Structure 1
Amino acid sequence: MPQTARTTAERYPERVTYDRDAAYAILDEALVAHVGFSTDEGPVVVPVLHVRQGDRLLLHGSIHGRFIKTVTTGTPICVTVTQIDGLILGRAASHHSAAYRSVMIFGQATAVDDAHERAELLGQIVKAIIPGRLSGPNAARRPNVEEAGYTAVLWMPIEEFSVKVRKGFARDEPKDDAVEAWAGRIPLTLTPGTPIPDSITDHRFPAPDIAALRPL
């Protein structure tokens, strides 16, 4: 879908693109999406784990939760995914900012009704986030149909979207060139820590390969 009124940036439009490959790169790297929707009590935003599958986004949650109960009625939603890459410091406090990459998607989500398909998709979500978790020695048990009965899986087409990227340095004004303060960019990264086994696992099994995890 081409650029629309609600995906058009009113501020810094030069930072916005509608390139699908750029959007997919951010969606595939990030772990958490924030889903916004309206309720009778007012707007709500919930964080959820997500996985992209082709041209659609997979979301999941408890069938008893407000998120699933509301969204499955056809309520329009807005999904945002953001990766913070650093802090941008200027010589003037008003020009401090953040380096980021973000995707905003508008549309509606559709529930997967078939329990067998939901079980399969729940397994695919686990495999996408933790590669190798459901295969090989010491693999975790796959989701079954019973578990799929109380966990909803939604798919949302990635059609109406925009990508916004902020990088570089602060937009300091010439009047602040003489301010004796450090200016530049502080990169920020999140990396997986050392896995901590529970009391049953102890050290009997090897931990997942954290190098294979999706970057945070």
Structure 2
Amino acid sequence: MSQTVRTTAERYPDRVTYDRDAAYAILDEALAVHVGFTTDDGPMVIPTLHVREGDRLLLHGAAHGRFMNVTATGTAVCVTATLIDGLILGRAASHHSAAYRSVMVFGRATAIEDLEERADALARIVEGVLPGRLSGPHAARRPDIEESRYTAVLSLPIEEFSVKTRSGFARDEPKDDGVESWAGVIPLTLTAGAPEPDALTGTRFPAPQYTPPGRARRAP
């Protein structure tokens, strides 16, 4: 889908792109998205883990929760993912900012009703967040049919979207050139720490070597 009214930026349009590969890279790196929708009680925004499968997003939540009850009816949703790559410091407080990459996806989701298909989708979400968790030695048990009865999955086509990014340094004004304050960028990264076993696991199994590849934050 081409640029729409909802995806057109009114502020800093030079930071916006409608490149599908750029959108997919952000969605694949983000560990969670926020889903916005309207209810009879007003607007709501729900965070959830997700996975991108080709040209769609898989979103999960409690089967009988408000999130699924409302969005599964085909109501319009807005899904956003944001990666903060750094803090941008200027010489003036008003020019402080953040280095970021973000994507917004608009559309209407469809509930996966078939329980076997839903259980498989739940497994793919787990594997999407942590590849290797459900395969190989000491793999976790895959979701079963009974578990898919109380955890629902939505499929959202990625058709109407926009990407917005910010990088570089602060746009200080000449009048602040003489301010004696450090200016530049403080990069931020998200890294996995050492695995911490629970009481039952203890030292019975080796610590997993898998981490979320491709999801570590990149410096701006």
One-letter amino acid of the counterpart of residue 216, structure 2: P
Give 2:126's aligned residue: 126
Is the Cα contact below 8 Å between 2:38 and 2:44 reproduced in 1?
yes
Q: Which structure 2 residues correspond to residues 33-182 of structure 1 after superposition, within 5 A? A: 33-182=33-182
Who is 1:11 aligned against?
11
For 1:179-199, what per-residue CA distance to the aligned partner results, in whole angstroms no more than 9, with x for missing partners? 111100000011111111111
Q: Deviations over 1:7-64 (max 9, x none)?
A: 0000000000000000000000111100000111111001000100000001001112
Q: Which runs of 5+ in 2 are unaligned?
A: none
- Shift of the alpha carbon at 1:131? 1.2
* Normalised TM-score (structure 2): 0.96
**What TM-score, normalized by structure 1, do the two folds share?**
0.97
Secondary structure at the residue paired with 1:5? coil
Task: Tell me the distance in 2 between the aligned counterparts of 1:66 and 1:208.
Answer: 35
Q: Is the 8 A contact 1:4 1:160 kept in 2?
A: yes
**RMSD between aligned residues:** 1.0
CA contact (8 A) 1:91 1:183 kept: yes
In structure 1, what residue type is equivalent to 2:195? P
Residue type of the partner of 2:134? L
Preserved CA contact (<8 Å) 2:129 2:212: no
Shift of 1:212: 4.8
- Aligned residues of 2:84 and 2:99 also touching (Cα < 8 A): yes
CA displacement, residues 139-158 of structure 1 (integer Å, 9 cap, x when unaligned):
11111111111110101000
Residue in structure 1 matched with residue 216 of structure 2 by the alignment: 215
5+ residue gaps, structure 1 = none
- 1:86-130 CA-to-partner distances (Å, cap 9, x unmatched) read 000000000000000000010011000100000111111111111
Q: Letter of the aligned partner of 1:96 in structure 2? A: H
Distance, in Å, in 2 between the alignment partners of 1:180 and 1:90 is: 11
Q: Distance in 1 between matches of 2:161 and 2:70?
A: 22
SS in 1 for 2:182: coil
- 1: CA distance between counterparts of 2:30 and 2:208? 19
Structure 2 CA distance for aligned equivalents of residues 4 and 86 of structure 1: 30
Which residue is 2:183 aligned to? 183
* Cα distance, 1:211 vs structure 2: 4.0
